[in-house]
Structure 1
Amino acid sequence: MRLTSFTDYGLRMLMRMASEPERAYSSAELADEFGLSRNHLAKIMQRLSRGGLIETRRGGGGGAVLAKSASEIGLGAVVRLLEEGQPLVECFAADGGDCSIDGQCRLKARLRSAEAAFLSDLDGSTLADIALKPARAA
């Protein structure tokens, strides 16, 4: 299975935020840390916010914080949210994609099963299981 970079960076952001959940993270800080444009990072944050995983605050002392405890955020749910609209293969697209062997293909069912197993495995873990360890003060 291959995740999009959108999901990869979304998971990294959540891992960082879970390392110090009481702290608000600015988009500039996270963009610098991950080498992303602030625009791309903002899109990821919007999706995470829409999914109820983070809250964003404006102004001084603002930034993004986890909306719930890291132990309440399942990895399968995160991947489903961030991969929304990104089918594993073309024939999984909402419109069925463009497949010349549709109706004869025996691969599709196996891929659906593999995708379900992948997500099911992730459902057994939470963000708390993969949170980064906080940096120690020097």
Structure 2
Amino acid sequence: MRLAEYTDYTLRVLMSCAAQPDGLITIAELAERHGVSKNHLMKIVNDLARQGVLQTTRGRGGGLCLAKPATDIRVGDVVRNSETDFRLAECFDARTNACTLTPSCRLKGVLQGALDAYFKALDGVTLAELVAPPPPRSGGRRSVPIVAAVPVRRPAAKRG
């Protein structure tokens, strides 16, 4: 199974925000960091904001940040909300299934079991765990952080 590019970038946006919990990141910074167009990231950010996962602030000093703690965001939920199709084989869609093996085939059950295990693994991991510093390695080798730090900008004070 392969994640769609959209899901890959969705996870990168969320991981970048989780790595800077006290600051804002701009779409321009994310685009430069990941080599993705701003327009593509705008769609992702808008979807995540609509889902209540990201909070966006417009204007000078604006940017985006997580709308809830990274510990409350399960990777499985992000993947489910980003991917459009989990039909692993033709037989997963009863409306279009034309496979002649379907009545006696057990492949669908095996694939469904694999998909269930895939989501069980993803549901067991939070966004916070993805960006946490890795445990020290034996042998004295230093580990490199997954998400490179960018300058942190504090959210602008709200005027009221």
Q: Give the TM interval when normalised to the shorter protein.
A: 0.7 to 0.9
1:105 offset after TM fit, Å? 3.5
Superposed counterparts of 1:1-138, under 5 Å: 1-83=1-83, 85-91=84-90, 92=92, 96-101=95-100, 102-131=102-131, 132=146, 135=149
Unpaired runs of 5+ in structure 1? none
TM-score (norm 1): 0.85
TM-score (norm 2): 0.74
1:90 offset after TM fit, Å? 5.0
Percent identity reads 42
Assess, with a 3 A threshold, how the Cα gap between structure 1 residues 32 and 89 changes in structure 2: closer, same or farther. Answer: same
Stretches of 4+ moved more than 4 A in 1? none
Assess, with a 3 A threshold, how the Cα gap between structure 1 residues 38 and 136 changes in structure 2: closer, same or farther. Answer: closer
Distance 1:27 1:72 in 2: 23
The number of residues matched between the two structures is: 135
Unpaired runs of 5+ in structure 2? 132-145, 152-160
Q: Is the 8 A contact 1:90 1:96 kept in 2?
A: no
2:137 counterpart residue number: none
- Deviation sequence 1:92-138 (CA, Å, 0-9, x none): 35x7445333444421221111111101111111001011466398x
When Rg is computed on C-alpha atoms for both structures, the one with the higher figure is 2
Q: Is the 8 A contact 1:47 1:81 kept in 2?
A: no
Distance 1:99 1:52 in 2: 39
Distance 1:136 1:43 in 2: 22
